[in-house]
């Protein structure tokens, strides 16, 4: 079986390659590595071998069984259905298809069973949404959630190589004409992830709100503030939930513990973003009662946006599809 990785040289694409190396999926016999015009013809390392990077048009002609996209929404919008014409199933990491009613938005541990042989494009959710729904899924199912307040602390790695470079240049006091962020990020925080929409919310905040309810099939009242912070590694989220049913703190802890792929720290133990870098799981800690609102709790959630927030989730979807289409 042949698969293609679109955007193989980017941060997410590079992480997909690492995850595939770790998992060593036996059904995969060949991988097509796709890059931009600047990268075509160059070599990329996979399992200690150097593989040639090809163009996306060449990859379409090679008719892979599956294509994992991580090259942005413009590329996905332009080429995903071109792959479909050659019977290639697409797993897309961009925002291009996430809110399309005909396309499933999947976190395998939560709604992976909804995937069928008829699905030609599967959307991978936003990184901040994935780690959030992993933690609240069972709480929503068992106790119900009325309202949720989410404040994110998002690493520059979530923006890509150029953002990481901007942070590094600012740390070293180097001048650059190609800043990704309009304001300084070193020793600073920016209360703007993605672009603003007419409501004053950013696209990132809108993704958290809309994608969460689509994945869970819920109608939770959600408000969000997404903040970019000068860190490498994981994204942090401060989450406040108001439950429908009366629930003790211990019950909340036990419910979260039952979610596969989530690790819970109790008492005074907690995880920071740097500690979860390159890990595939989601980590939750500082679970405590909110005394200002009846039946409400605060949670601290961290995960690597390049792993479970993108690459790991996409490869898990690939594994589901392989099993479905055997």
pLDDT at 115: 97
Q: Residue count of the chain, please give it.
A: 326
Active site residue 186: no
Structure tokens at 133: 């729904």
Structure token pair of residue 302: 């961290």
pLDDT at 176: 75
Q: Identical fold at 2-125+310-324 and 128-305? A: no
For residue 127, indicate whether it is catalytic. Answer: yes
**Model confidence at 27: pLDDT above 90:** yes
* CATH topology classification for 2-125+310-324: Rossmann fold (3.40.50)
3.40.50.10490, 3.20.20.70, 3.40.50.300, 3.30.360.10: CATH of 128-305: 3.30.360.10
Active-site option among 65, 98, 228, 235: 235
The CA-atom distances, in angstroms, between 270 and each of 154, 229, 266, 301 are 17, 19, 8, 9
| For the chain, domain boundaries | 2-125+310-324, 128-305
- Measured between alpha carbons, how far is 19 from 318 in angstroms, rounded to an integer? 12
Q: Would you state the structure tokens that stand for residue 81, as one six-digit string?
A: 């259905």
Percentage of the residues of the chain whose pLDDT score is greater than 70: 100
Q: Are 111 and 316 in contact (CB under 8 A)?
A: no
Mean pLDDT of the chain: 97
Cβ atoms 152, 236 nearer than 8 A: yes
**What string of H, E and C letters represents the secondary structure of the chain?**
CEEEEECCCCHHHHHHHHHHHHHCCCCCCEEEEECCCCCCCCEEEECCEEEEEECHHHHHHCCCCEEEECCCHHHHHHHHHHHHHCCCEEEECCCCCCCCCCCEECCHHHHHHHCCCCCCEEECCCHHHHHHHHHHHHHHHHHCEEEEEEEEEECHHHCCHHHHHHHHHHHCCCCCCCCCCCCCCCCCCECCCCCECCCCCEHHHHHHHHHHHHHHCCCCEEEEEEEECCCCCCEEEEEEEEECCCCCHHHHHHHHHCCCCEEECCCCCCCCHHHHCCCCCEEEEEEEECCCCCCEEEEEEEECCCHHHHHHHHHHHHHHHHHHCC
Per-residue model confidence as pLDDT tens digits over 158-181: 999 999 999 999 999 988 778 999
pLDDT tens readout for residues 92-111? 999 999 999 999 999 999 99
- CB-CB contact of 133 with 107 (8 Å): yes
d(CA 180, CA 159): 8
The per-residue pLDDT for 254 is: 98
Q: Which of 6, 8, 11, 127 is catalytic?
A: 127
Q: What's the average model confidence in pLDDT over 35-55?
A: 95
The pLDDT, as a whole number, for residue 295 is 97
289 close to 249: Cβ distance less than 8 angstroms: yes
Band of the pLDDT at 321, cuts 50, 70, 90?
A: very high
């Amino acid at each position: 079986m042949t698969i293609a990785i679109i955007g193989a040289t980017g941060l997410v694409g590079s992480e997909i390659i690492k995850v595939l190396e770790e998992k060593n999926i036996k059904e995969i016999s060949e991988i097509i590595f796709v890059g931009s015009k600047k990268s075509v013809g160059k070599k990329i390392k996979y399992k200690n071998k150097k593989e040639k990077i090809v163009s996306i048009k060449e990859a379409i002609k090679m008719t892979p069984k599956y294509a994992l996209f991580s090259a942005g929404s413009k590329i996905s919008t332009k080429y995903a259905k071109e792959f479909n014409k050659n019977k290639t199933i697409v797993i897309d990491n961009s925002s291009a298809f996430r809110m399309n009613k005909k396309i499933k938005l999947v976190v395998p541990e939560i709604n992976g069973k909804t995937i069928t042989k008829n699905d030609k494009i599967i959307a991978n959710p936003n990184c901040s949404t994935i780690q959030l729904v992993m933690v609240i899924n069972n709480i929503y199912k068992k106790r119900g959630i009325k309202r949720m307040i989410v404040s994110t602390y998002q690493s520059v790695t979530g923006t890509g190589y150029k953002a990481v470079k901007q942070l590094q240049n600012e740390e070293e006091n180097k001048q650059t004409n190609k800043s990704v962020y309009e304001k300084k990020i070193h020793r600073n925080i920016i209360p703007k992830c993605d672009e603003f929409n007419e409501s004053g919310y950013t696209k990132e905040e809108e993704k958290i709100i809309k994608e969460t309810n689509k994945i869970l099939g819920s109608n939770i009242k959600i408000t969000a503030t997404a903040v970019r912070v000068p860190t490498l590694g994981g994204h942090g989220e401060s989450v406040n939930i108001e439950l429908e049913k009366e629930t003790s703190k211990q019950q909340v802890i036990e419910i979260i513990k039952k979610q596969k792929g989530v690790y819970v720290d109790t008492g005074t133990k907690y995880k920071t973003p740097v500690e979860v870098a390159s890990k595939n799981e989601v980590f939750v800690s500082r679970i405590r009662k909110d005394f200002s609102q009846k039946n409400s709790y605060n949670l601290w959630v961290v995960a690597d946006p390049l792993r479970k927030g993108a690459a790991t989730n996409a490869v898990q979807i690939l594994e589901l599809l392989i099993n479905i289409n055997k």
